Structure 1
């Protein structure tokens, strides 16, 4: 039934009369949760909403955290474990060490991200005493110790509310982790708009995100309607061209 549902979802944008079997029919014990894909307006609202946090250093930390997640697609836990020495702004790169599955990787930064990180590092220097016992992590809490990834949800709920991003009844509330999903989806949509071979580039995105293999990244194709519609249109165009040639 998983295969039938997947095929039906691909077919539905081409033929709206296609029926997709309910998830309750022969459902699996585990199903990935539907991610919330933030649009540009929502991401901007989240960044603005961090200004309401206090003290001011906390606001700067959260603005940097949300910006990093949106711009790089890294996991929140990875961002919390970045050390100041892991950030090389001269070469616009961050090294992420010993993350999920024991993997390490490099994440390259957009010039605007570099600019914002330089500003944050100056704010951090002004607020955190430069002693030999100072915490070496990049992102710190109000006590100047490392952010705890297990305690991010409470503050993020406040930011969501301030940004006016409400939860639809019966739908899971947007998460900080969904910024990672948003990055992946935006990247793939960009490839579709550029008319490049998304299938061939998936391994590149998988490496960037730190996935074990492209199969983990491929999940986005059937989890997000916009990507599904792009894939369906690509398939329809290819099949039409093949029909003309034959």
Structure 2
């Protein structure tokens, strides 16, 4: 049996169960790695280890890949399609968990201001880097979601985004402020002078912007602003951390305003496009400032005081 046939059969099975299986990209990637003509007999422990190792240093991705392959081979074993499993019995020690960087308000203002006037982002229209960063932060978007936005997804009259190409295949509506609408209107006005443009953010050549290019632009902007980590973490602040910063800042604001955070947390989860509430609850312990606000709220409650 061809490996690709097993992969197609396995993914169809998971989808038939009504699952949004979050790790189906791993079997697909393994199929590409082995080649379309590879049979199940061609898969060896050595080829599996080569796929898992990739080209860089060990990261959490190694374990994510292994989990995806385990599911694939459990399916194959249960149906008698394979007799042995070529997966490693021992796993390397997991690297330290990735810690998102939470930008301070001063750092955000520095980034937004600097992005307004950059002249080196040549594959973006003037001002679009500024608009992109504002939208990612204020709407809590993933970078992939922003890049996938089409013109029809940006409701300027209603101040609502329709996020369709989300990480978990869910469509959600995300409101944005009238102030941001004014900035996005300039993009739509530019499109009206151009026929046949579907993506909302495009290069001067009319193509959808590229994730890799946007990440590189942000890295240069961050360096120009002098923003760096001082906590010994492996990764420098990323553009995706704007989304994490939005969530933490929103929670901090709710605590300070005396709002019922536990009641509002599910709403934030939907806003961010999380599948499980626990993915949003992680933000509750992400910064000392937020932990301090939560602790103060609990102390007031425990001592019979108010939430002010």
Q: Identify the match of residue 195 of structure 2 among 131, 138, 144.
A: 131
Q: What secondary structure does 1:90 align onto?
A: coil
Q: Which has the larger radius of gyration?
A: 2
Q: Distance in 2 between matches of 1:49 and 1:223?
A: 27
CA deviation digits over 1:105-160, x for unaligned, max 9?
A: 0010111111111123334556xxx233x3x1111134331112244221111111
Tell me if 1:101 matches 2:101: no
Q: Which runs of 4+ in 1 moved over 6 A?
A: none
Q: Distance in 2 between matches of 1:124 and 1:167?
A: 38
Q: Distance in 2 between matches of 1:202 and 1:115?
A: 29
Tell me if 1:197 matches 2:260: yes
CA deviation digits over 1:217-237, x for unaligned, max 9?
A: 000112221111111112222
**2:118 paired residue number:** 52
**1:6 paired residue number:** none
- Structure of higher RCO (CA pairs closer than 8 Å, 6+ residues apart): 1
Cα 1:192–1:106 shift into 2, 3 Å: same
Q: What secondary structure does 1:107 align onto?
A: strand
**1:87 paired residue number:** 154
Q: Distance in 2 between matches of 1:53 and 1:47?
A: 14
Q: What secondary structure does 2:174 align onto?
A: strand
Moved more, 153-162 or 88-97: 153-162
Cα 1:212–1:233 shift into 2, 3 Å: same
Deviation (angstroms), 1:31: 5.4
Q: What secondary structure does 1:183 align onto?
A: helix
Q: Distance in 2 between matches of 1:219 and 1:203?
A: 13
Q: Identify the match of residue 62 of structure 1 among 129, 143, 146.
A: 129
Residues 284 and 290 in structure 2, CA contact (< 8 A), matched pair in contact too:
yes
1:173-192 alignment, distance < 5 Å: 173-192=236-255
Q: Distance in 2 between matches of 1:186 and 1:167?
A: 18
Tell me if 1:228 matches 2:270: no
**1:149 paired residue number:** 211
Tell me if 1:166 matches 2:166: no
User: With structure 2 as the length reference, what TM-score do the two structures score?
Assistant: 0.63
Q: Distance in 1 between matches of 2:220 and 2:136?
A: 18
Q: Distance in 1 between matches of 2:292 and 2:191?
A: 44
Residues 48 and 163 in structure 1, CA contact (< 8 A), matched pair in contact too:
no
Q: Structure 1 stretches of 5 or more lacking a match?
A: 1-27
Q: Structure 2 stretches of 5 or more lacking a match?
A: 1-92
**1:237 paired residue number:** 300
Deviation (angstroms), 1:168: 3.0
Aligned residues: 210
Q: What secondary structure does 1:116 align onto?
A: helix
Deviation (angstroms), 1:59: 3.7
